[in-house]
Structure 1
Amino acid sequence: MAEAAIAEHGLIGDLQTAALVSTDGAVDWFCCPRFDSPSVFGALLDDERGGRFRITPARGGYETKQMYIPGTAVLITRFITEAGVGEVVDFMPPAPAEATDNHRLVRMVRCVRGEVSLEIEVAPRFDYGRAAHQTQLTDHGILFTSDALRLVLHSVREPGDERLARVRLDGDDVRLSIDLTAGDVRGLVLESAATGPPREIRVAEFERLFDDTVAWWRSWVARSTYTGRWREVLQRSAITLKLMTYAPTGGLVAAPTAGLPEQIGGERNWDYRYTWIRDASFSVHSLLRLGFTGEARQFAEWLGKRVAEHAGGEGGPLHIMYRVDGSSDLKEESIEHWSGYRGSVPVRIGNGASDQLQLDIYGEALDSIFFADQRGIRLGHRGWQAVCGLLDWLAGHWDMPEEGIWETRGGRKNFTYGRLMCWVAFDRGIRLAAAHGRPAAVESWIAARDGIYNQIMENGWSAQRHAFVQHYGSEVLDSSLLRMASVGFIAPRDPLWVSTVEAMERELVTDSLVYRYDPEASPDGLRGSEGTFSLCSFMYVDALARMGRLDDARLAFEKMLTYANHVGLFSEEIALTGEQIGNFPQAFTHLALIDAAITLDDALDRPSGS
């Protein structure tokens, strides 16, 4: 049986870990106790050996629908049968602010019309299926125990109710059956690191847990100050980003998944359960624009700690990515016994790109620090010293070949985007020093900034293509350069910029969808191809809006929204067929969606011609 389609999932979480729930009622991706921990359920990457927690109608012939309770991260999967309608309500109560191994995955089942019979399968596979476990049935639930993790399954029922008593062991897995009539509410709670044995949970307690979780999310969403045209869309993106935030540190994972392919059957299968400097920097900008000051401040503090550590390897003061706790051991390996999503191997965990030299991260970091400073989130003395140390290092190293934003594995090059963001780093540092009268080697920074500008104009511009190109000495276009106008390097209506966008439209844009680059024209050290990159598609919308092409921008944005899945989530890429591919959901895409929407809103609200 093939793995459930990537887009056929909703996301739930408790701000320390997350789970994907398919439209067929299966939790087929869940890592515990945190995002970058080994998986417990991994059927998304191997339907036979990955493990799952599935609740589905006992008999065939049903239709399924999925939705979020508005303004929350509480997911409802509805099963519509001839006999009745049943619902599985999935959520994870928010975990405390401090790191904990104790997490609860709550699965409420209820019958809303007629009658419904449900089959429940609980088949954990600890440590990516590499660790054995023991299963113990008790009067009030089930224990699953491996060497590294213990899971307790609590039952939800009323006194004297035996409808969840039909339990049978299938090896070390468990199968349960339950019959419900209209109005019945029952369920299960899977808890990690529980302090006691399985227990019976009364329905009233269960419903309070549900009510409290709904209230928590709605209270959080109400803090947004965004009132523009796409309020519900941006609200869902904000909730999704919150679900991918590790609350104890403020680190934002790039995605809660690993190994989902950029090409079905291909080898571009990476682990995204880590925090990239780039993504964290973008998140500060996007969340401040939405009014989520607390989250932006926490992200900025996470970023500031990484800058202050100066603990990077030979690639510079910063690693490009970190674990959610701030550590940087991301050794890459393959899960050899898993077949991969629809045959896409290898299934990688860890990330070998963590020690690459990617110079653009310094510009993204400084841009977010500058943006936060403008909105009252100021650097202290030690923070400023760390920034100075970073920029002083960059002043001596910006003119180096690097791997670039796309983490290519085909050797270092003089990427134009990397140079562009080094320009941003120095520009923002100079502005910060001037705004607050801070001591700094400003003359050195100015010399570097101006040198970069001149170098890009001389070497990054192709007279043949009438466009800025991916790296010096090439004629390859790269959609990362869609940010040139948004960061202030070039005026949005400069003829050089207009012709660059037009060249990208001819070669990289298909309808509203945008490719990163052409890997055949610019080999990246990997076999195969990939889909369009949703981040770049939203960056294209932003660029069009800044150029004044508002009708084109709005149409492209609205088309992009049609590629979201049924609950408003985007993966990393979109295949030619329209299928979502790559890790899911991707933070970078939702961050770019937010920025594009707000830029477009502002442009549409300005008087014509202004």
Structure 2
Amino acid sequence: MTEAAIADHGLIGDLQTAALVSTDGSVDWFCCPRFDSPSVFGALLDDERGGHFAIRPAAPGYRVTQMYFPDTAVLITRFLTEAGVGEVVDLMPPAGPEATDRHRLVRLVRCTRGRMEFEAEVAPRFDYGRRPHTTEVTENGAVFRSDGLTLTLHAVRNPGDTRVARGRVDDGDVRVSFTLRQGDVRGVVLESAADGPPREIPLAEFQRMHDDTIAFWRSWLGRCTYTGRWRENVHRSAITLKLMTYAPSGGLVAAPTMGLPEQVGGERNWDYRYTWVRDASFSVQSLLRLGFLEESARFSGWLRDRVAQRAGTDSGPLDIMYRVDGSSDLKEETLEHWSGYRGSAPVRLGNGAAGQLQLDIYGEALDSIFVADRSGLEVGHRGWTEIGALLDWLTEHWDQPEEGIWETRGGRSDFTYGRLMTWVAFDRGIRMAAAHGRPAAVARWTAARDAVYDQIMAKGWSPTRKAFVQQYGSEVLDSSLLRMPRVGFLSATDPMWGSTLAAMDDELVTDSLVYRYDPAASPDGLQGSEGTFSLCSFLYVDALARARRLGDARLAFEKMLTYANHVGLYSEEIALTGEQIGNFPQAFTHLALIDAALTLDEALG
């Protein structure tokens, strides 16, 4: 069978884990109890062996639409036929700020017009399909048990509805069919770590879960200060970033999925269910620009704890990524029994890039803290002490080869972007020391900052290309350098930047879509190619707006909006066919959309 297209999904979540629901009413991805826990439903990566939870009309020939309840993360999938219209409403009530094994996947089925017969199939595959399970069916639901995890299926029905759904168990999977007429409501709640056996949930209790979840999201979104031209797009991206935040720690995952290919049939299939220092720092800055202070405060605490973990070691203050709880065991392995999305193998679990040296993370972390500090979230004594220790370490270690922002596996090199962000780290530390009169080795940091600047100008600039290049001694362009004017290293009107942007126009941009770099010109240790990188496409809009090319910026931005899926979500990359590829949805893309919208709004205003 063929996996549903990546873009044919909406995202729901409870701020500790998340699920993808297809336009055909199937939960194709769900890990429990955390984002980075083993999957229970994994049909997105193997439709036959991954497991799913499907609710759809029994008869073929229906038309489907999907939407979010306005300003929330409650997803509605609508099935339309000549005989009737039915809806499946999917939501996950927020799990709270304390880590818990209890999570609820709530699915309400209703008929809004005419008559419709539905089929439901619950086919879990625990631990990425590696562990067997037992199934026990009761009058009010079912229990699926596997080593380490139990899922309980509770029934929801209309008060007074005595009709019995027709069900059976096949090889541990539960299949049920039922008929609804206009006004009828049925539903189920799939719960992990339930307090007791399956029970009949009154419709009023379901309605409370529904209303409370809507109220939560509308209350949270009500703190957003953005009122610009692209409000709906920005709000959807903000909700998406929040959905990828692990509430107990404040860490934000790069994406809730793993193994989705950057090229269909290729090997660039990574596990993104972890907290990258870089991605999370960018995301928090974007949310901060929208007025969400709490997320910034939580992430700053998370970051401080990571630095404290490594105090006194020689391996540097930070790893590039962590599990959502702050641990760093991310050993990479492959799931050989899974075919991968549309044959894209291997399916990778864990991430071998975790041990890489990527010096840019210090600039991104310090820039995030600096922006938060200027917004009123002032760094305390403990935090400042750790910032000082981090920068002292960086003065000794910034001038060395590294793997770079794109996590290449072709060996270390002197990446210009990595040097750029070490300049940012020193610059932000110096500014905070001056602003608050804090003790600091300012002279030492200043000397390092200036040395980085001079080195980039001498070695990161190619007189031949008239552009800043990916790595010293090369002629390869890299769109990560679109951030140069954004971080203040170079004026957006500087002729050196103008010629760099023009070179990128010619080589990396295709009809507003932007490649990261050319793998053929700069081998990265992997086979195959990739699509255009949506983060870079929005960075391009931001750079155009700062360079006062407002007409180009607005056209590129509006074009990028057409590549969103039906509910406004973006994956990591876009193929030249317009297909979304890579892990989905991706924090990088949504944070860049927010930044581009705000920058362009300000410029147009």
The question of a shared fold, defined as TM-score above 0.5 by the shorter chain, is answered with: yes
TM class by shorter chain equals over 0.9
Q: CA deviation at 1:144?
A: 0.2
- How far residue 312 of structure 1 moved from its aligned partner, in angstroms, is 9.9
Give the aligned partner of residue 236 of structure 2. Answer: 236
Q: Percent identical across equivalent pairs? A: 76
**Partner residue in 2 for 1:440:** 440
| 1:407-435 CA-partner distances (Å, limit 9, x unpaired) | 00000000000000000000111111111
Provide Cα deviations, 1:435-454, integer angstroms capped at 9, x if missing partner: 11111111111111001101
TM-fit CA distance, 1:31? 0.1
- Structure 1 residue identity aligned to 2:396: G
Counterparts in 2 of 1:345-384, with a 5 A limit?
345-384=345-384
Q: Distance in 2 between matches of 1:53 and 1:311?
A: 45
- Matches of 2:312 and 2:524 in 1, distance apart? 24
Over residues 535-557 of structure 1, what are the superposed CA-to-partner deviations in whole Å (9 max), with x where a residue is unaligned? 00000000000011111111110
Q: Distance in 2 between matches of 1:316 and 1:380?
A: 22
Give the distance between the partners of 1:144 and 1:580, measured in 2 at CA: 34
The one-letter code sitting in structure 1 at the alignment partner of 2:318 is L
Shift of 1:158: 3.7
The answer to whether the 8 A contact 1:85-1:115 is kept is: yes
Q: Tell me the residue number matched to 1:304.
A: 304
CA distance in 1, matches of 2:139, 2:422: 63
Range that drifts further, 278-287 or 524-533? 278-287
Structure 2 length normalisation: TM-score?
0.99
Alpha-carbon distance in structure 1 between the residues aligned to 2:237 and 2:301: 22
SS of structure 2 residue aligned to 1:396: helix
Q: C-alpha separation between the residues in 2 aligned to 1:476 and 1:178?
A: 60
Alpha-carbon distance in 2 for matches of 1:62, 1:311:
59
Structure 1 length as normaliser, TM-score?
Answer: 0.98
Q: CA deviation at 1:163?
A: 3.8
- 8 Å CA contact retained: 1:57, 1:116: yes
Q: Distance in 2 between matches of 1:298 and 1:599?
A: 25
Provide closer, same or farther for how the CA distance between residues 167 and 521 of structure 1 changes in structure 2, counting only shifts above 3 A: same
Are the equivalent residues in 2 in contact too, given 1:280–1:303 (CA < 8 A)? no
CA distances 1:250-295 after superposition (whole Å, capped 9, x unpaired): 1100000000000000000000000000012112211111011111
| Matched letter for residue 446 of structure 2 | I
* CA distance in 1 between partners of 2:148 and 2:111 (Å): 37
> Matches of residues 246-261 of structure 1 in structure 2 within 5 Å?
246-261=246-261
Give the corresponding residue for 1:335.
335
Summarize the alignment of residues 398-409 of structure 1 with structure 2, pairs less than 5 Å apart: 398-409=398-409
Where 2:554 maps in the other structure, the secondary structure is helix
Instruction: Determine helix, strand or coil for the equivalent of 2:397.
Output: coil
Tell me what 2:36 maps to.
36
Offset at 1:171?
Answer: 1.1
Which residue in 1 is equivalent to 2:80? 80
CA displacement at 1:304 relative to structure 2: 2.1
Alignment CA distance shift 1:198-1:547 (3 Å)? same
Structure 2 distance, partners of 1:284, 1:238, is 10
Contact 1:313 1:319 in 2 (8 A): no
The whole-number CA distance in structure 2 between the counterparts of 1:259 and 1:448 is 39
**Cα displacement (A) at 1:313:** 7.7
Counterpart position of 1:216 = 216
The correspondence of residues 157-168 of structure 1 with structure 2, limited to 5 A, is 157-158=157-158, 161-168=161-168
Alignment-mate amino acid for residue 369 of structure 2: I
Secondary structure (helix, strand or coil) at the match of 1:111 reads: strand
Instruction: Work out the number of aligned pairs and report it.
Output: 605
Code of the residue aligned with 1:510 in structure 2: it is T
Which residue does the alignment assign to 1:123?
123
Alignment partner of 1:70 is 2:65: no
Conserved? CA contact 2:159–2:203, under 8 Å: no
8 Å CA contact 1:311, 1:318 repeated in 2: no
Q: Is the 8 A contact 1:115 1:179 kept in 2?
A: yes
Amino acid at match of 2:32: C
Q: Deviations over 1:362-381 (max 9, x none)?
A: 00011111111111111111
2:26 matched to 1:45?
A: no
Match of 2:111?
111
Report SS of the residue matched to 1:206. Answer: helix
* Structure 1 residues without counterparts, runs of 5 or longer: 606-610
- Equivalent residue number for residue 317 of structure 2: 317
Structure 2 unaligned blocks of 5 or more: none
The residue number in structure 2 matching 1:527 is 527
Which residue type is aligned with residue 269 of structure 2?
A: N
Where does residue 452 of structure 2 map in the other structure?
452
Offset of residue 463 of structure 1:
0.5
SS of residue matched to 1:425: helix
| 2:395 is equivalent to residue 395 of structure 1 | yes
Q: For residue 581 of structure 1, what is the amino acid of its counterpart?
A: I
Cα deviation 1:553-574 (Å, max 9, x = unaligned): 1111010000000000000000
Report the CA distance between 1:164 and its aligned residue.
4.7
Instruction: State how far apart, in whole Å, the 2-side matches of 1:172 and 1:252 are.
Output: 35
Letter in 1 for 2:18: A
